[in-house]
Every structure is written in C-alpha cells, then in structure tokens.
Amino acid sequence: MTDQPQQTVSVEFTIGVGDGQIVASANVPVGATNLTQILPVLQSMEDSMISGMGVQLAEAGHPISCRAGCGACCRQMVPLSIFEAEALAAWIRTLDEPRRQELARRFHQALLSLSASGLIDRMVNEDWLADTESARQLALDYLYQRVACPFLEDESCSIHPIRPLVCREYLVISPPAHCFDPAALQVIPAHPPLHLSRVLNRMGAELEGDARGWIPLLFLFAWMEAGASPGNGYAGTGPEVLHKFLEHIGEAQIPARTAARNAD
C-alpha cells in the first residue's frame, strides 16, 4: 500500500507585528494532524519572513553577513523546541544504521566535552534561566568550549532543510569573525519580525508545565529515548492546529526570558 499525499487547504491569516501586520497564507492538511507534523509549514513561514528581512536590510545597506561555510554560531547552545526534537528524532530513526551510529557518537562526544567543563550540570540546573546575566554568562561559557553541533559538517549544516527555527532566526550583520569571540567583538544581530521558535517554546512550556519547553539540542539523543510525542498535545485538523499556533504568537512577542541563542 502506498501513502496517499494528504489533501491540503490554503489558510489566510494576519499576524500583528509591532505597529504593523503581516498578511500571509499557508497550505495545511485538511484532515487530522498535529503541531509536529505541520512544522514544515512553520519553517516555510519563517523562511519567508527572514527572506523579506534580508531584502530590507540589504536595501538599507546592512546586508546579512551569514554565509554557507561559516559555522561559528553552530558552537552555541541551541534551544530546540520539543516539537522539533520530536521531528528530528523521527528523522534520525529513518537513517541507516551506520549514519545513526555516527550521529549518536558525535552527540555522545559533544556531551562528554561539555561535561568535562561542568557545563552539563549547570545546564540541567535551571538557575541559569533566572536572569538575563546568568543566561548570557552560560551562553558565553558554552560557546568558548567550542563544542560543535553534531549536525555541523565542513562548517555547514548537514540538516539545512530541516534545521530548527532558532537556527534560521540567528543572523548577523556584523563581520562573521566577530561571532567567534562575542565577548570581545561586537556582534550585531538581525532581528526577524517574529521569533517563531519562541512560539514553539511557549507552547512546549505550556504543555509540559515547565519553564522552558525546549531542550538543549545536544540532549536530543537522550530525549528521544523516552519516545515522547509532544506534537499530539496540539492536535486537530490542519487549520485548527495552525490557529492554535497563531493564537500563541501574541504572547511570543514578549522577549523570551532566555534562550541563549537568542540572547541579544
């Protein structure tokens, strides 16, 4: 039996951003789905917003300086929403055994490196989320360990089409070299009109009743062992699930309490 492609329906919507509005549309499944399953729709929304931002910045004389082959920011702690963790876990399970084992080895090695510096203990303890300065310090300490994301290959993202929203949102207009030493050199972020990653984090926090709703990306292999399906916490037809996501956007415009990668 072959899988039939799901029928989709186009949903038009308006998102308030600052004093303005973004009018957009998205194709979502007509039938039953959940938040994890509509992630490609959210990725597409994010890419459109960021592309528009890039054009505006270039026209203003401040082009985005991020380029393929620069993986400086891929040594930061990546706050991965639990819904994206679920999607990446499902993708990892489709990989052939050698590839899956190689990824498992890289994740394990990265955790060992961080553990040796005491950072794992600090990350598990949520005290560092308590204030901006603690979050900033942990983000810097993490970066200066120079532990690369296990998905980074030849300084490029090996999962580029399915990379987390927060990775899509992290863009700068300062020289790329500054990202290697942000404590000493000024990094000027480009601010997307919305951080859709924060919307997912809020929905994850709401679902789990905890403070963050995300995991450090390096915890992915450990997290996937539990076989959690958080996407089912927001289930319904495609339009219903998209509506639930859009409902959370307003709250997401409040600056995130942390998210080291979004520290700006």
Taken in order 89, 91, 92, 94, is the CA torsion positive or negative? positive
Among residues 135, 149, 171, 203, the one that binds ligand SF4 under rule CB under 6 A: 149
For residue 165, which of 68, 47, 29, 245 has the smallest C-alpha distance? 47
Work out whether 142 is an interface residue with ligand SF4 (CB under 6 A): no
Work out whether 159 is an interface residue with ligand SF4 (CB under 6 A): yes
Minimum gap (Å) between residue 217 Cβ and ligand SF4: 7
For residue 166, which of 48, 57, 43 has the smallest C-alpha distance? 43
Work out whether 259 is an interface residue with ligand SF4 (CB under 6 A): no
- Span of 42-50, 51-59, 150-158, 193-201 interacting with ligand SF4 by CB under 6 A: 150-158
Among residues 83, 128, 151, 214, the one that binds ligand SF4 under rule CB under 6 A: 151
- Span of 24-32, 159-167, 193-201, 252-260 interacting with ligand SF4 by CB under 6 A: 159-167
Site string for ligand SF4, 193-232 (x = CB under 6 A): ----------------------------------------
At residue 30, what are phi and psi to the nearest 5 degrees? -65, -40
Work out whether 163 is an interface residue with ligand SF4 (CB under 6 A): yes
Token representation of residue 71: 């993986």
Minimum gap (Å) between residue 23 Cβ and ligand SF4: 29
Work out whether 263 is an interface residue with ligand SF4 (CB under 6 A): no
Among residues 11, 157, 205, 246, the one that binds ligand SF4 under rule CB under 6 A: 157
Minimum gap (Å) between residue 164 Cβ and ligand SF4: 6
For residue 77, which of 252, 215, 203 has the smallest C-alpha distance? 215
Token representation of residue 119: 């950072």
**List of residues 6+ apart from 183 with CB closer than 8 A:** 140, 144
Among residues 24, 152, 207, 224, the one that binds ligand SF4 under rule CB under 6 A: 152
The 10 Å CB-count burial string (b at 16+, else e) for 123-147 is beeeebbeeeeebbebbebbbeeeb
Helix (H), strand (E), coil (C) string for 173-199? CCCHHHHHCCCCCCCCEECCCCCHHHH
Binding to ligand SF4 (CB under 6 A) within 72-91 occurs at 74, 78
Work out whether 167 is an interface residue with ligand SF4 (CB under 6 A): yes
- Span of 4-12, 58-66, 138-146, 163-171 interacting with ligand SF4 by CB under 6 A: 163-171
At residue 26, what are phi and psi to the nearest 5 degrees? -145, 145
Token representation of residue 162: 């399915």
Which H or E run includes 161?
A: none
* Interface residue list for ligand SF4 (CB under 6 A): 74, 78, 149, 151-152, 157, 159, 163-164, 167
